[in-house]
Amino acid sequence: MGQRQATPRRLDPGHSAPRRAAAELWSAARPIEVFARRLSAGLLAGRYRSLFRGSGQEVEELREYVEGDDPRTIDAGVTARLGRPFVKRFLDERHTTLLFVLDRSASMGAGAVAQPYAAALLTLAALARAAGEHQDRVGLVLLGDSAPTAIPPGGGRRAGQRLLEAALAAPPDQLGVDWEAGLRRARALLPGRGTLVLLSDFLDGLPGLGGERAAGPLAALARERDVIAARFVVAEHLRWPVTAGGPSLRVADPEGGAERLLSPTAGAAFVADLAQRRAEFARAARRAGLDLFDIALDDHSAALGLPRAVARALLGLDASRRARGRRR
């Protein structure tokens, strides 16, 4: 007789108002404060990539010239076309934008040890705190099975908490998500100087990531922006919980609802197939120019505590980027 796998508890923002829950998550990210300062000095402050060569500044807008403006900021092309002088207004190059793309598919709410969605929100909180250290702007694209929901990048003391409130009000309950629509929206929201952070289990991969070259909106983003992919891997996908000779387990697809009974042998084969797919995804991500790092939600991360597990994974990403000295 097969045993039904325990259904993990989902994040339930209904038990607490999103604003209160967001504040709790923000506080939970506080142990990563030292890491946040270190990361903000490098990853978010643009140490690794400068998309704007030459002046190193990003043009925010054009406006008509007024007496006292620096003549060196006059845009010759626009001035010639319109017949009157226009000047460029620049954003301070020290500041950047961090835009999160959060997967809300139902698989993000699964996991016996810890849920990917909970870890993703803590990762978002930690990086948003890092962005706040340098007065950088943060924004969010929430993926759904149709048009994504977006919070345009903004700054201020509560910018990161506003993103958490929105994410907590939209739990992971989607039967699949539209990555292409979300990435197109992200490209429109992210200014020339910015970092895109994808938060997902990537069980279904990413559109345009297969083959020798990435295609579609993902390829455009990877060419033009700094793209980081945080992949959350649940314990059940790392090691089958029942050894040979043990009982079969009835498992359910969290997004489709279909159930099947797996013997220990079939379960081990299932985990091996997932491991191969993760490896293929990692190779494709590197070819596409993405920085991929994993956060394993297993017994080890549970023993560490989720904030410390997330911090260690992010520090590993920071160290690898420092070692490569990546620049664009």
| CATH superfamily of the domain spanning 13-50+93-324 | von Willebrand factor, type A domain (3.40.50.410)
Helix (H, G, I), strand (E, B) or coil at 94: coil
pLDDT of residue 232: 93
pLDDT of residue 262: 81
pLDDT of residue 271: 83
Closest CA to 310 of 24, 115, 48: 115
pLDDT of residue 266: 83
206-217 core/surface letters (b: 16 or more CB in 10 A; e: else)? bbbbeeeebeeb
CA distances from 45 to 37, 48, 78, 93, 270 (A): 11, 9, 31, 9, 41
Supply φ then ψ for residue 83, to 5 degrees.
Answer: 80, 10
In whole angstroms, give the CA distance from residue 271 to residue 240.
7
pLDDT of residue 229: 92
Closest CA to 216 of 251, 246, 186, 171: 186
Which pair of tokens denotes residue 206? 């990413």
Give, for 156, the enclosing helix (H) or strand (E). none
β-bridge partners, 226: 195
DSSP state for residue 6 in the 8-state scheme: P
pLDDT of residue 163: 93
Cβ–Cβ under 8 Å, residues 192 and 51: yes
Cβ–Cβ under 8 Å, residues 267 and 238: no
pTM, two decimal places: 0.74
Residue ranges of the chain whose pLDDT lies below 70: 1-17, 30-61, 67-70, 89-94, 112-113, 133, 192-193, 210-216, 242, 252-257, 322, 324-328
Closest CA to 39 of 317, 328, 325, 326: 317
All structural domains of the chain with their residue ranges: 13-50+93-324, 58-91
pLDDT tens column, 163-199 = 999 998 888 888 888 898 999 899 889 876 688 999 9
pLDDT of residue 263: 83
CA distances from 143 to 108, 196, 219 (A): 12, 14, 18
